[in-house]
Structure 1
Amino acid sequence: MNATEPSERPASAPTTGRAGVKRSIDLVASAVTVPAWAAYRTSAAVVGAERAFPGFAQLFALLPGLTGTTLRRAFFRQTLRACGRDVHVGFGALLTSPEATLGARCYVGPYCVLGAVDVGEDALLGSAASVTNGGRQHGIDRLDVPVREQPGEWPRVSIGRDVWVGDRAVVMANVGEQAVIAAAAVVTGPVKPRQIMAGVPARVIGERGAETLATQAAAREPSGLN
């Protein structure tokens, strides 16, 4: 058999080739977004990063298709506190703070809203999900002062590795790794790793891997047969 025939080529060649193309595209996108990055830095020097950032993020949110996804990733890698490789931020998704972090390969669906939060590696955020900095961003105790003028609390919220947050869910507290938040759920308290949460307010309805662990435990028990 000729060494140049397809069956003799290394299996990793197509993957390596695709990775190279992706890197090249990311480099081009980084170059294209440099003027926007420079404009952002100039604006941030005048009004502060927290005020300058949302306008640029909103502009990039309106770019459609794969081009938009690629340019958003490039811009956020230059401006966020941290942004990993192969991040996907969908059309219309709004990041409100440059202090947010996005882990490698995480997916932020269309029309999501993220504050100064941490999204872990391989996490999935469904369409229109919202991750806020807690649920007490405005004080409500005084009646003689408008709510918008009362001081609030802004804790940093994290979404762990390999978490799945369903469409239109609202998350106001830390979510442990590999947990699942059902669509339209409202998370008001910390979620432990691998818990499955649903409802308003969200409550535990199961645990990822529980059936597998039970099956493994049963297999280890003596059968009682001689």
Structure 2
Amino acid sequence: MSTGPGPLSPSMKTHKAVTGDGSAISRYADVMVGQHGWGALLRYEFCMLFRNTPGALGLFLRKTFWPKLFAGCGRGVLFGTGISIRHPNRIRLGANVVISDNCILDGRHTEEGPALTVGDDCILADRAILQCKGARISIGRNVGIGPGTLIQTTSNADIRIGDDVMIGPSCTLIGAGNYNVDRLDVPMCRQGMRLQDGITVGSDVWLGCNVTVLTATTVGSGSILGAGAVVNGPVPQYAIMAGVPARQIGSRAPNGGRTEPTPIKVQGRQS
């Protein structure tokens, strides 16, 4: 873990990007489109024209034209209404992904290549938010993300989620550093951050509703995180966790033993 200050780059700070120097078109491209040039801007604006088009017509228009916005988009992807997309050129969607109404996909990153990857056969329920701001999110295959769930990462604290994971409603996964708070004469938001590792969630994991997973956490494969749990440390494979902070209350393992988390291989990356 790095302990030095690690503020986000200016392009990742939303307020500064929106209100900073440059023309309104340039700032809009920095925050929303992810690319400069009239071609990228017009393509993005055309696709947003039917962002809120209801019914079968809206589904058809988005399914036909939206895949061309992304770094990659598999066959059979469905887009609901009211979806917000930022930096689609850094987002890769697998086949048969379902993005439900009012979701937010934010792929902002200063480096080249996809920042947000969603594997085949995943579903994002209404109002789910996946937000990269200078880090990466990688989601495996056959993952269900419940309504109102926030998965957000910054400052190179990548979030990696394995296959066959169930994430309940209103969960929060935050990969980021912690603010330095030692000085009393400087506002905490101006003291920089202590950088930390991100989050790794193994395969075949079940997060109940309102679970919070904090940065620098590894959740072992086959584990269960009970509703309302706050997880801020390693979770053994097959463990059943509950409480604030979460503690192990059982195990799915046949002998009830506690095993240490093992490296989790997820789509395109290994922790």
8 Å CA contact retained: 2:105, 2:130: no
**CA 140–104 in structure 1, closer or farther in 2 if over 3 Å, else same:** same
**CA 154–180 in structure 1, closer or farther in 2 if over 3 Å, else same:** same
- Deviation, 1:149, is 1.6
Query: What do the CA deviations read for 1:4-61 (whole angstroms, capped 9, x no partner)?
Result: xxxxxxxxxxxxxxxxxxxxxx9986643146549xxxxxxxxxxxxxxx9626xxxx
Written as runs of structure 1 = structure 2, the 5 A alignment for 1:63-142 is 68-69=99-100, 80-97=115-132, 99-116=136-153, 117-133=159-175, 136-142=177-183
Q: What is the aligned counterpart of 2:219 among 147, 170, 175? A: 175
Query: What do the CA deviations read for 1:74-114 (whole angstroms, capped 9, x no partner)?
Result: 998x9554321101111111111172111100111111110
**CA 149–55 in structure 1, closer or farther in 2 if over 3 Å, else same:** farther
**CA 143–74 in structure 1, closer or farther in 2 if over 3 Å, else same:** closer
Aligned to 1:32: 65
Written as runs of structure 1 = structure 2, the 5 A alignment for 1:143-158 is 143-152=184-193, 153-158=195-200
Q: For residue 65 of structure 2, what is the amino acid of its counterpart?
A: V
Structure 1 unmatched runs, 5+: 1-25, 39-53, 58-65, 214-226
SS of aligned partner of 1:56: strand
Moved beyond 6 Å, runs of 4+ = 70-76
Q: Alignment length, in residue pairs?
A: 163
Which of the two has greater helix per residue?
1
What is the distance in 2 between the residues matched to 1:113 and 1:138? 20
TM-score by length of 2: 0.51
Which of the two has greater strand per residue?
2
Superposition CA RMSD, Å: 3.6
8 Å CA contact retained: 2:144, 2:165: yes
Written as runs of structure 1 = structure 2, the 5 A alignment for 1:136-215 is 136-152=177-193, 153-172=195-214, 173-210=217-254
What is the distance in 2 between the residues matched to 1:55 and 1:145? 35
8 Å CA contact retained: 1:126, 1:167: yes
Q: For residue 179 of structure 2, what is the amino acid of its counterpart?
A: H
What is the distance in 1 between the residues matched to 2:189 and 2:106? 31
Written as runs of structure 1 = structure 2, the 5 A alignment for 1:20-59 is 31-34=64-67, 36-37=69-70, 56=85
8 Å CA contact retained: 1:112, 1:128: yes
Structure 2 unmatched runs, 5+: 1-58, 72-82, 87-96, 108-112, 154-158, 258-271
Query: What do the CA deviations read for 1:134-166 (whole angstroms, capped 9, x no partner)?
Result: 5x4322222122121222224221111001111
Aligned to 1:221: none
**CA 87–73 in structure 1, closer or farther in 2 if over 3 Å, else same:** farther
SS of aligned partner of 1:205: strand
8 Å CA contact retained: 1:33, 1:75: no
What is the distance in 1 between the residues matched to 2:178 and 2:64? 37
